[in-house]
Amino acid sequence: MNPSRRTFIRGAAAFAAFPLLPIISARSYPRFQLGPNQRLQLAKVAVGGMGESDLEALAKHPNVDIVALCDVDGRGKEKYAAQFPKAQWFNDWREMFDKLGNKFDAVCVSTPDHMHAPVAMSAMNIGKHVYCQKPLAHSAYENRMLADFAKGHSKLVTQMGTQRSAMIGRRQQLQLLNDGLIGKIKSIHAWSDRPMGWWPQGNPMPTGGVKPPQWLAWDLWLGVAPTRPYVDKAYAPFMWRGTYDFGCGALGDMGCHILDNAFMAAHLGLPISVRCDCSDATNDQFPTKETITLKYAASDRTVAEGVTVMWYDGGLRPANALLGIPDGVDIRGNASVVIGEKGVMLCPLDPEYDKDSGQVTLSDAPQVWDNAKKSIKLDLPQLQRRNHWFHWVDGCFGKTTPEANFPFAGLLCESLSVGAAASHFANRDLLYDSKNFTFTNESNGAQYLKTKYRDGWSVKGLS
């Protein structure tokens, strides 16, 4: 028995149910870099919602076998039995890791945000490559721990589920920013049309607790989060995003898609300070709309004064004039604007398609204006299509290096977690103490930056 190799530690009762055996033996998995004649044995944690998309996308790779499936919603078992007859089904990912940990190479995690880090870290602890949905983790601390672990274990191939970063338009944006087209970066603005109508925010804790449906293991859904009653349609599926215990609000949900290019191009580090302007955050939920200001020290890609990142959601958006973009340019939806010394780049998140023909009506390619707001004709790099999921799988075969790897994703998402935590202290400038995971001028910040796991839950490397 070798407890130091275990991924997680459960309460005494749970230990009794699953006797402690070494998970990894000398002849079993992990197999770090797979050879050309091998196949990636994949375990899937969460198969509903985005988990279904992830499962289908990964199963299409010609060198992937789905060998284990897990979801706290038992209805998936029947649904996938025919499609993946060889895959064993589990309700509890810890049991799956215990019983089958020596039969798979990699794990894909698509649970709600609060369970990303516990599952992903447990998987890496036993040497598994990990694809984890965005945002990488719930708290600032979890993001840092995942990033640091991945940095220290370079044989592990990791990827955050920001599949839009593989799209040609998004990669053209990044390449032109990296090429220095707009010069040193001065500031970054980004906005999202969430949460408006997508999921609830700005409400007190839902009332009307009922017995969870028989197919849902509610206690396992709660996982490391504090216990609360199940309320029909309040959290699962999808609606949990605006609740502090489970999600990261609109910034965490969309910021990883929208801000990744700007972050990567500006070589940003950790924020020095943060401020959330909002009026209706509650004890339980994020505000309905907010602006968040994050400040960063200078890097080799920014002006010497450092950079401010401004985030807007819930229908808020900066005026074109503030951004240096001509009036009349449509900046609705989800996008970022990077302001440099030599000009301004608009980086739309998504292309828009004609419903009937499927043709692109608005490209996600970058648009650039000079300091006189004159449009610059771009020589866009010609890029090949890329599949974000396959790029990670191919990384496990040593053929690629995924860009949304955990060291980058954790750095980006730590900023988003800090921004999300700031909504607990509305309209105040907070100094981020990144060494101690607190705010220098608000010691109550620590509980939101390094959240405590529920009694009975402890994950090696996280708690």
CB of 72 or CB of 449, closer to ligand NAD: 72
Please report how many Cα atoms fall inside a 13 Å half-sphere around the Cα of residue 266, on the Cβ side: 33
14 binds ligand NAD (CB under 6 A): no
**Considering the complex, what minimum distance in angstroms separates the CB of residue 132 from ligand NAD?**
8
**Considering the complex, what minimum distance in angstroms separates the CB of residue 433 from ligand NAD?**
27
Nearest to 88 by CA among 69, 65, 107: 69
245 binds ligand NAD (CB under 6 A): no
46 binds ligand NAD (CB under 6 A): yes
- Which one of residues 9, 14, 24, 50 is an interface residue with ligand NAD (CB under 6 A)? 50
**Considering the complex, what minimum distance in angstroms separates the CB of residue 235 from ligand NAD?**
8
**Considering the complex, what minimum distance in angstroms separates the CB of residue 206 from ligand NAD?**
15
Do 118 and 8 touch, CB atoms closer than 8 A?
yes
Measured over the CA atoms of residue 270, residue 295, residue 311 and residue 371, the dihedral's sign is negative
Edge-to-edge, what's the strand order for the sheet holding 106-109? 88-90, 64-70, 40-45, 106-109, 129-132, 158-160
Q: How far is residue 272 from each of residues 295, 431, 437, 438, measured CA to CA in Å? A: 6, 6, 12, 12
CB under 6 A: which stretch of 230-238, 363-371, 442-450, 453-461 binds ligand NAD?
Answer: 230-238
Could you write out the three-class secondary structure of 232-245?
Answer: CCCCCCCHHHHECC
Number of residues interacting with ligand NAD: please give it, by CB under 6 A: 28
**Considering the complex, what minimum distance in angstroms separates the CB of residue 238 from ligand NAD?**
4
- Which one of residues 23, 40, 43, 45 is an interface residue with ligand NAD (CB under 6 A)? 45
Rounded distance between C-alpha atoms, residue 218 and residue 74, angstroms? 11
**Considering the complex, what minimum distance in angstroms separates the CB of residue 87 from ligand NAD?**
14
223 binds ligand NAD (CB under 6 A): yes
Rounded distance between C-alpha atoms, residue 344 and residue 296, angstroms? 19
348 binds ligand NAD (CB under 6 A): no
35 CA to centre of own chain: 29
Report strand pairing: 88-90 vs 64-70.
Answer: parallel
Rounded distance between C-alpha atoms, residue 266 and residue 23, angstroms? 42
72 binds ligand NAD (CB under 6 A): yes
CB of 34 or CB of 248, closer to ligand NAD: 248
48 contact partners, CB below 8 Å, separation of at least 6: 71, 73, 76, 237
**Considering the complex, what minimum distance in angstroms separates the CB of residue 268 from ligand NAD?**
21
CB under 6 A: which stretch of 6-14, 67-75, 192-200, 326-334 binds ligand NAD?
Answer: 67-75
Q: Enumerate binding residues for ligand NAD (CB under 6 A).
A: 45-51, 70-73, 93, 110-113, 115, 133-134, 161, 163, 220-221, 223, 236-238, 253
